[in-house]
Amino acid sequence: MTVREYNRSVEEYADSVYRFIRGNLKDEDRANDIVQDSYEKLWRHVAEIEYSVVKSWLFSTAYHTMIDVIRKEKRMTTLEESYENNLIYESQYSDLNEILHTAIERLPDQQRTSVLLRDYEGYSYKEIGEITGQTEAQVKINIYRGRLALKSFIGKIETVL
């Protein structure tokens, strides 16, 4: 990959990678750090990576870096289990965006990642499998279960509207 192609990858993919990571972490600063680390790793391997695979490589690298950050933080702090995930949103509220983001936050990591990559970023099942290191079948299962959980949380659309 050339320097021009590297710069083009920053222009084309940095925002998408950032949105994906921020959607999972809910922390802008950590998301910025992970995107920056991913591009630093890309720069170190710029001679080895072809431009045609750079988007997938960036998402995979950012995803694995995010998982490493999450694992590191889990070792550093003790988290209490919350039983709020089982509650169904039943009050009437019209901010659909906020309701959807609240529902997405409650999904398990694998389901949230798969749903975000599929529905927000438009990746195929195969590409999501390559990014997350899962089989295509497991990706489909995670997306299916994630969508069921979202439907269960949101409930009937009449309740939301």
CATH assignment of 84-160? 1.10.10.10
Question: Looking at residue 24, what is its pLDDT?
Answer: 81
pTM, two decimal places: 0.52
3-state secondary structure 100-124: HHHHHHCCCHHHHHHHHHHHHCCCC
> Which helix H or strand E contains 146, and what residues bound it?
helix 136-154
Tell me the pLDDT tens digit for each residue of 132-152. 888 999 999 998 988 888 888
Q: Where in the chain is the domain with CATH 1.10.1740?
A: 3-76
Other Cβ atoms less than 10 A from the Cβ of 115: the count is: 22
Tell me the pLDDT tens digit for each residue of 16-33. 888 888 888 878 888 888
CA dihedral 77→88→141→111, nearest 10 degrees, is -30
CATH assignment of 3-76, given 3.60.15, 1.10.1740, 1.20.1510, 1.10.10? 1.10.1740
Of 101, 123, 102, nearest in space to 114 by CA: 123
Side chain identity at residue 154, one-letter code = I
Of 7, 117, 131, nearest in space to 57 by CA: 131
Q: Where in the chain is the domain with CATH 1.10.10.10?
A: 84-160
